[in-house]
């Protein structure tokens, strides 16, 4: 069974631009969660999508948004990029929504650098 895939793997953008990242979950998984990982803040939850609906959202500004399609694939968008948005963006796939009795599997991540 194929794992979680994320595209692109690396991105370099400049301040003020916007970016769209894509995530395809494991076949049969209906939930996709997005995380930001930085050396200073660690792994932080951005949001979770299940059945095309955002089920939960972390403490990030509105510049961070996402969506999920009927095939469970998900995209996240960051508008008006700031230097502090440079990070590894990870998506995680799971069968059901939420973390309770529900294992999440991570993709390889997208490394975003904002210049």
Partner 1 sequence: QKEVEQNSGPLSVPEGAIASLNCTYSDRGSQSFFWYRQYSGKSPELIMFIYSNGDKEDGRFTAQLNKASQYVSLLIRDSQPSDSATYLCAVGVRAGGTSYGKLTFGQGTILTVHP
Name which of 48 and 85 has its Cβ closer to partner 1: 48
Smallest distance, partner 1 to C-beta of residue 15, A:
25
Question: Rounded distance, CA 56 to CA 86, Å?
Answer: 23
Element of type H or E holding 68: strand 64-68
Question: Rounded distance, CA 93 to CA 12, Å?
Answer: 25
Name which of 17 and 54 has its Cβ closer to partner 1: 54
Name the percent of the chain in helix, strand, coil, to the closest 5. 5, 50, 45
Q: SS3 of 61, please?
A: coil
Question: Rounded distance, CA 47 to CA 3, Å?
Answer: 20
What is the 8-class DSSP label of residue 85? G
Q: Using CB under 8 A, which of 32, 93, 109, 112 touches partner 1?
A: 109
- Residue span binding partner 1 (CB under 8 A) among the ranges 15-23, 44-52, 61-69, 70-78: 44-52
Residue 99 touches partner 1, criterion: CB under 8 A: yes
- Residue span binding partner 1 (CB under 8 A) among the ranges 18-26, 63-71, 76-84, 105-113: 105-113
Binding site for partner 1 (CB under 8 A): 33, 42-45, 48, 50, 55-56, 58, 88, 90, 92, 97-109
């Amino acid at each position: 069974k194929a794992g979680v895939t994320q595209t692109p793997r690396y991105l370099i953008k400049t301040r003020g631009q916007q970016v769209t990242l894509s995530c395809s979950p494991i076949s049969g998984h209906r939930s996709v969660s997005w995380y930001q990982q930085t050396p200073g803040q660690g792994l932080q939850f951005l949001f979770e999508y299940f059945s095309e609906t955002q089920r939960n959202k972390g403490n990030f500004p509105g510049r961070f948004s996402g969506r999920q399609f009927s095939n469970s694939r998900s995209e996240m968008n960051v508008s008006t990029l700031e230097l502090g948005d440079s990070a590894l963006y990870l998506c995680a796939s799971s069968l059901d929504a939420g973390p309770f009795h529900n294992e999440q599997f991570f993709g390889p991540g997208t490394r975003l650098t904002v210049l």
